[in-house]
Amino acid sequence: MKTSSPECAATPVAELLPPSELRQSALFWLAECDALRKAEGVRRLAQAWRAGEIGLDTHQTLDAQKPIPGQPAKPELVPPLAVGRRSMVTPDGRAALIHALTHIEFNAINLALDAIWRFGGMPREYYADWLRVADEEALHFSLLLGHLQNQGYAYGDFPAHNSLWEMAAKTQHDILARIALVPRTLEARGLDATPQVRAKLAQAGDADAAAILDIILNDEIGHVATGNRWYNWLCGQRNLEPVAAYAHLAAEYQAPAMRGPFNLAARRAAGFSESELSALSDSVQT
């Protein structure tokens, strides 16, 4: 079944400026529908945070007053299998691949913002970490969007799927499940897939896209490392053994089956332990 992106109502004049508190501001930009405005707003928020212009209340209770995540009317959201294959032979096929990557980065902005506003009571460093992630995801989105536009296409020209956000919605009531199954599972799959995608684009003669993916892979190692760091911290707080806890959460929330090949070097750099990598290889489905 095809699904449509929720339409955003016009924003009242009084609400055009984001709040000066970090978690409230993260929710503000999460609800923003205009993709470019969202990315630019997140980058300004991160700059303001670094300048000490944004406060943080880790214990306030927040409620989303608008539909989240805010997203534009296009791309049309369809099931993953309905997206179709992307051929590297034609300009349209290569553009469709760049579009898919652009949509992933748009979703990644939303995921980082959601991790900030939704889960209170965490250490200050947790919020700073996910704001840095949101900032870098916004940069990735902007780089890919610019490259897509240089090829004569726009974000929204191709259908896309929303699997990343669907898992975020399933884990919205448990921060441990969220961290385990979004950054450490779905986003970590990007560490495995990116080198292969980069190679295809480079072989097709798209050196600019390949260079952007080099930036993304380097940053994504840090993003997954952030997920690993807070997952292990949360396991410590709950007296859980990380490998066993992950297996339980993956089964409970029906995480997608892992398929190789794995980028073990990148996963090690992102902080996965040897026991986790061994368990990953044991559970692989080819």
Q: Over the range 21-36, which residues count as b (16 or more CB within 10 Å of their CB) and which as e?
A: bbbbbbbbbbbbbebe
- The yes-or-no verdict on residue 261 having pLDDT over 50 is yes
Residue 163: both structure tokens together: 């699997």
Beta carbons within 10 angstroms of residue 76's beta carbon: 14
Burial (Cβ within 10 Å: 0-12, 13-18, ≥19) of residue 16? exposed
Domains of the chain by start residue, with CATH: 19-57+65-282 (1.20.1260)
Please state, rounded to an integer, the average pLDDT across all residues of the chain. 91
Segment 199-238, tens digit of pLDDT? 999 999 999 999 999 999 999 999 999 999 999 999 999 9
* pLDDT tens-place string over residues 150-189: 999 999 999 999 888 999 999 999 999 999 999 999 999 9
Taking the C-alpha atoms of residue 156 and residue 147, their distance in angstroms, rounded to an integer, is: 14
Q: What is the pLDDT of residue 61?
A: 92
pLDDT digits (tens, 9 = 90+) for 79-126: 887 777 777 878 899 999 999 999 999 999 999 999 999 999 999 999
Phi (first) and psi of residue 77, to 5 degrees: -95, 125
pTM for the structure as a whole? 0.93
Mean pLDDT value of segment 5-25: 68
Query: Whole-angstrom Cα distance, residue 258 to residue 280?
Result: 8
